[in-house]
Amino acid sequence: MFANGGFARRAETPMPSTPNRTDLVEGLHYLSMRDHVAGRIASGELKPGERLPSERRLQTDVGMARGTIREGLFQLEAEGVIYRKDRSGWYVSPPPVVYDPTRWEGFMSYVEAQGRRPATETLSKTEIPCDAALAQIFRRPVGAPMYLIRRRRYVDDRAVLVESIVVDAVTAPGLLEHSLDRSLTSVLKSHYNISVARNQVDMQPCALTREEAEALRVKSGLPGLSVVRTSYDAQGRVVEHDREFWRHDALKISVDIRVR
Amino acid sequence: MFANGGFARRAETPMPSTPNRTDLVEGLHYLSMRDHVAGRIASGELKPGERLPSERRLQTDVGMARGTIREGLFQLEAEGVIYRKDRSGWYVSPPPVVYDPTRWEGFMSYVEAQGRRPATETLSKTEIPCDAALAQIFRRPVGAPMYLIRRRRYVDDRAVLVESIVVDAVTAPGLLEHSLDRSLTSVLKSHYNISVARNQVDMQPCALTREEAEALRVKSGLPGLSVVRTSYDAQGRVVEHDREFWRHDALKISVDIRVR
DNA sequence: GAGTGGTCTAGACCACGGG
DNA sequence: CCGTGGTCTAGACCACTCT
């Protein structure tokens, strides 16, 4: 298409019906470009994890300026269909993992249950003094000792989230000496007999700032999902405060609620 | 870190108050541009709902090409800080509404409870034959009569979501004759004695397709949040199947879960 | 070193809105 | 009508990866 002679006139069809998913012929170049690539993915020509042709290659393939090519790629990225590795190329996204905030299984469990391969990497673990914001959350004095744990988690070797966990050092003394590359909840349970009775979870679309973006090896400013979880024990004491930043295309939230 | 409890965008680097020349803080122009505008919003110079200067005006203000200006604006849009009305301009986003999928109050209730002004507009209501996908969800034969309701919902006069609701026509005969501009759940309860015992809710970042984008009067392909809810009664019968597309910047999800 | 995406410029024309 | 954002072109240089 758009073979020669410049521009196939934008015939802009009036769109009477409701085609919903597959928008057919579009007058806009970046949309045809998007559909061109989406078609090659849907047809199975390009499979999850595979690399797309380079932008300059696509440019000659479809005969558009590079900016227009990129506009189409950004759309597919926003849809979660493709993702990029910085300066390496564009790749077809694998399916998202399903997360149910009302369940207690940790990341390792539910990723594995979905037939994917989870991994956790501890980026840092330090003791910090409680600042004003944490003081309010934990109801502890400013300056009280806290543990700060930063971890990166993977699904099938793709980094999907970074998180910062804060735990009251008085509640779980010596926590940092344990291995934190698995479930933190189970460490708290088995070594400190702490169990969670209540979870407060907030989720919101966000943009990944430089720190998070670097940890996920993506471009700063890409859309992400922020998940903030505060866990309480039966006495209402804060056990854990966790702030996660997910790739926006890695996660699907699913909640099943029954009236009692 | 954790500087404040909210989700205001976190500055990557401190921004000097004089953005004249040699902004060495960020080597990248579109990031200084982004921070320039973000600063004017944070300082209160630009308030929620207000219009930003035009792109060409910003161009002369900060001395960059228009493409670079737009790159910065897209970042702020992804962060939910600003939004655009097609060909009208860029505006400062109002704060998001909080949605708890585990609660039963409808849209009208929880928006009002947050001091905002909700509104619902019925776009269409029709009877349709059950297709294959609906047949599976409702466990009804293909071709069985169904009601399809399309609505648009507002917060403070800004359209924030469009939804398509499907209800089994046999379960709620004559449903379309009632006013659907308020809570559908309460109509089902009061006129048909149907109450919901279980909710299955799925949420996933998505890109708004043309149909949804037009209904929200935004550009096709903008990031959004897809919320699919299926409601069941005490007998496990499907009461309602609802597919919502939200502006990505209009919503914050908050769940509070207690172990029983 | 070659190739990739990331950034940036300086134009242009268009469709649509009523700032 | 004029101004707006939306789209598109055709270059350029850079930082980074190693496809």
Per-residue pLDDT band for A210 (boundaries 50, 70, 90) equals confident
How far, in Å, CA of B97 to CA of B94, rounded? 9
Strand C: positions under 7 A of a protein C-beta atom: 3-12, 15-19
Overall residue count recorded for chain B in this entry:
260
Mean pLDDT, chain B, as a whole number? Answer: 86
Q: Å from A17 to nearest chain B CA? A: 10
- CA to C1' distance (Å), from A107 to C6: 33
Most A CBs within 10 Å, among B66, B204, B231, B260, to test the A interface: B204
How far, in Å, CA of A62 to CA of A78, rounded? 21
Q: Which residue is nearest to nucleotide C18 (CA to C1')?
A: B88
Chain B contacts of A15, Cβ < 8 Å? Answer: 210
pLDDT at B26: 61
3-state SS assignment for residue B59? helix
Say yes or no to pLDDT of A148 above 70. Answer: yes
Of B201, B204, B211, the CB nearest to A255: B201
Is A202 close to B12, i.e. CB distance below 8 A? no
Write out residues 119-148 of B within 8 Å (CB-CB) of A: none
Report the pLDDT averaged over residues B54-79: 94
Higher pLDDT, B59 or B25: B59
Q: Å from B179 to nearest chain A CA? A: 25
Q: pLDDT > 90: what percent of chain A? A: 70
B125-134 LR contacts (CB < 8 Å, sep 24+): B125/B149, B125/B150, B125/B176, B125/B180, B126/B176, B127/B169, B127/B176, B134/B166, B134/B241
How far, in Å, CA of A61 to CA of A100, rounded? 42
Report the pLDDT averaged over residues A213-225: 86
Write out residues 59-98 of A within 8 Å (CB-CB) of B: 67, 75, 78-80, 96
Q: Å from A251 to nearest chain B CA? A: 7
Q: pLDDT > 70: what percent of chain A? A: 90
Give the amino acid at A158. Answer: R
Overall residue count recorded for chain A in this entry:
260
Chain A contacts of B9, Cβ < 8 Å? Answer: 207, 209
Say yes or no to pLDDT of A219 above 90. Answer: no
Residue B163, CB-side half-sphere exposure with 13 Å CA sphere:
26
Q: Which residue is nearest to nucleotide C7 (CA to C1')?
A: B28
Strands (E), chain B: 82-85, 89-92, 97-99, 118-129, 145-155, 158-168, 198-207, 223-232, 238-247, 251-258
Is B255 close to A259, i.e. CB distance below 8 A? no
Per-residue pLDDT band for B258 (boundaries 50, 70, 90) equals confident
Q: What pLDDT digit, counting tens, does each position of A79-109 carry? A: 899 999 888 999 999 999 999 888 878 899 9
Give the amino acid at B123. Answer: L
Residues 6+ apart with CB under 8 A from A37: A46, A52, A58, A72, A73, A76, A82
- CA to C1' distance (Å), from B77 to D13: 28
Say yes or no to pLDDT of B19 above 50. Answer: no
Q: Which residue is nearest to nucleotide C9 (CA to C1')?
A: B65
Mean pLDDT, chain A, as a whole number? Answer: 86
Q: What pLDDT digit, counting tens, does each position of B119-135 carry? A: 999 999 999 999 999 99
Strand-pairing partners, residue A242, are: A165, A229
Does the CB of B128 sit below 7 A from strand C?
no
pLDDT at A183: 86
Angle between helix B29-42 and helix B66-78 axes, rounded to 10 deg = 50
Would you say B34 and B75 are in contact if contact means Cβ atoms under 8 Å apart?
yes
Give the amino acid at B223. Answer: P
Q: What is the DSSP string of B213-252?
A: HHHHTS-TT-EEEEEEEEEE-TTS-EEEEEEEEEETTSEE
Write out residues 160-199 of A within 8 Å (CB-CB) of B: 164, 166, 196-199
Q: Which helix (H) or strand (E) holds A82?
A: strand A82-85
3-state SS assignment for residue A56? helix
Per-residue pLDDT band for A209 (boundaries 50, 70, 90) equals confident
Which nucleotide's C1' sits nearest to the alpha carbon of B32? Answer: C7
Report the pLDDT averaged over residues B13-20: 31
Does the CB of B106 sit below 7 A from strand C?
no
Task: Provide the whole-model pTM.
Answer: 0.84
Is A259 close to B196, i.e. CB distance below 8 A? yes
Say yes or no to pLDDT of A252 above 60. Answer: yes
Per-residue pLDDT band for A7 (boundaries 50, 70, 90) equals very low
Would you say A195 and A210 are in contact if contact means Cβ atoms under 8 Å apart?
no
Q: Å from A173 to nearest chain B CA? A: 22
Say yes or no to pLDDT of B21 above 70. Answer: no
- CA to C1' distance (Å), from B55 to D5: 8
Q: What pLDDT digit, counting tens, does each position of B138-190 carry? A: 999 999 999 999 999 999 989 999 999 999 999 999 999 999 988 898 899 99
3-state SS assignment for residue B64? coil
Give the amino acid at A6. Answer: G
Q: What pLDDT digit, counting tens, does each position of A19-38 carry? A: 333 334 567 999 999 999 99
Domains and CATH numbers, chain B: 21-92 (1.10.10.10), 97-253 (3.40.1410.10)
